[in-house]
């Protein structure tokens, strides 16, 4: 009898068989068993300030700088930003900043604040580069991912994991069921192990219809979300987007299509944890509609 390759469907999400079906149909390998993984805890910081951005989208740079300081100290456990940066990167590293550059882009102010903070820590300007795109990343020793928080109509979420899609050289091949494979880009030889910090610009996120902006689904969250585990950071971002959608509709409004790339980044590519019970969220600042 001819074997029929299983197809991932809505029913897998209801039955909890996503892993089995994905393992067989997309990855061609067994989905690792949950219990085989080491128990880890990843810290994700959520630093918010009501004054970071007003309703007219005007940014307060001083507030943003303070939020970054708070973020760096909490992520690294160091006493000041200089020590924090130097615990993440080496003084002679060529450091690539990787913002989202188009359609709900990372705010320039966020990128500038990061760059200035690195320079204050003693990293010379000529060692700090824009690393969006594969050519630029190859020349870097360390990467700081700075995506904007947004839902994505093709992949569910289009924030952390998707931020490196241009490194693949073939972005459209990571859509449809292959969006589950977004994590493999983080394991490309010129990318693997280089990401020292993931800092998500969540000042004005988008919870539906991304990547095209739609102001009906954008709001002032006024936050920076950060960590060294990209999957944990993405998982927290996903939670915020999902909760905001519930608030908007007043009922459950799941992301469609479901963001299978997040669980796959954990269980197939070993990039970090997608389990909320293995993530320690450290929140500080504004707590209105935290959504966590």
User: Which residues contribute to the site for another protein (CB under 8 A)?
Assistant: 4, 6-11, 13-15, 56-57, 100, 102-103, 152-154, 158, 165, 171-172, 175-177, 179-180, 209-216, 218, 254, 256-258, 260
Alpha helices (runs of H) in 27-106, residue ranges in sequence order: 61-76, 81-88
73 or 154: CB nearest another protein: 154
Is the CB of residue 120 less than 8 Å from the CB of residue 91? no
Q: How many residues does the chain have?
A: 292
5 or 36: CB nearest another protein: 5
CB of 170 to another protein, least distance (A): 10
Residue 113 CB coordination number (10 Å): 22
State which H helix or E strand residue 255 sits in: none
CB of 152 to another protein, least distance (A): 7
Residue 62 CB coordination number (10 Å): 11
Q: For residue 109, give the 3-state DSSP assignment.
A: helix
68 or 165: CB nearest another protein: 165
CB of 252 to another protein, least distance (A): 12
189 or 215: CB nearest another protein: 215
CB of 167 to another protein, least distance (A): 12
51 or 209: CB nearest another protein: 209
B/e letters for 81-99, b = 16+ CB within 10 Å, e = fewer, are: bbebbbebbeeebbbbbbb
CB of 60 to another protein, least distance (A): 16
């Amino acid at each position: 009898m001819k074997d029929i390759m299983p197809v991932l469907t809505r029913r897998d999400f209801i039955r909890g068989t996503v892993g089995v079906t994905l393992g067989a149909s997309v990855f061609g390998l067994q989905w690792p068993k949950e219990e085989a993984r080491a128990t880890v805890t990843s810290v994700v910081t959520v630093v918010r300030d009501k004054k970071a951005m007003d309703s007219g989208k005007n940014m307060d740079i001083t507030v943003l700088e303070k939020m970054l300081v708070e973020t760096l100290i909490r992520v690294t456990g160091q006493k000041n930003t200089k020590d924090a940066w130097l615990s993440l990167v080496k003084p002679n590293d060529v450091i690539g900043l990787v913002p989202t550059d188009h359609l709900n882009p990372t705010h320039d102010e966020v990128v500038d604040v990061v760059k200035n903070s690195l320079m204050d820590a003693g990293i010379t300007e000529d060692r700090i580069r824009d690393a969006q795109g594969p050519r630029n990343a190859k020349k870097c020793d360390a990467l700081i991912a700075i995506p904007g928080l947004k839902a994505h109509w093709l992949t569910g979420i289009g924030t952390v994991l998707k931020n490196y899609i241009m490194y693949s050289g073939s972005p459209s091949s990571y859509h449809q069921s292959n969006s589950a494979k977004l994590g493999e880009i983080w394991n490309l030889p010129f990318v693997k192990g280089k990401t020292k910090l993931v800092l998500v610009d969540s000042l004005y996120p988008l919870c539906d219809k991304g990547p095209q902006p739609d102001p009906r689904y954008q709001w002032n969250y006024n936050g920076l979300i950060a960590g060294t585990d990209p999957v944990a950071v993405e998982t927290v971002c996903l939670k915020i987007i999902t909760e905001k959608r519930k608030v908007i509709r007043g009922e459950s409004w799941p992301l469609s299509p479901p963001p299978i790339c997040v669980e796959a980044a954990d269980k197939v590519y070993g990039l970090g944890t997608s389990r909320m019970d293995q993530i320690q969220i450290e929140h500080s600042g504004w707590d209105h509609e935290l959504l966590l």
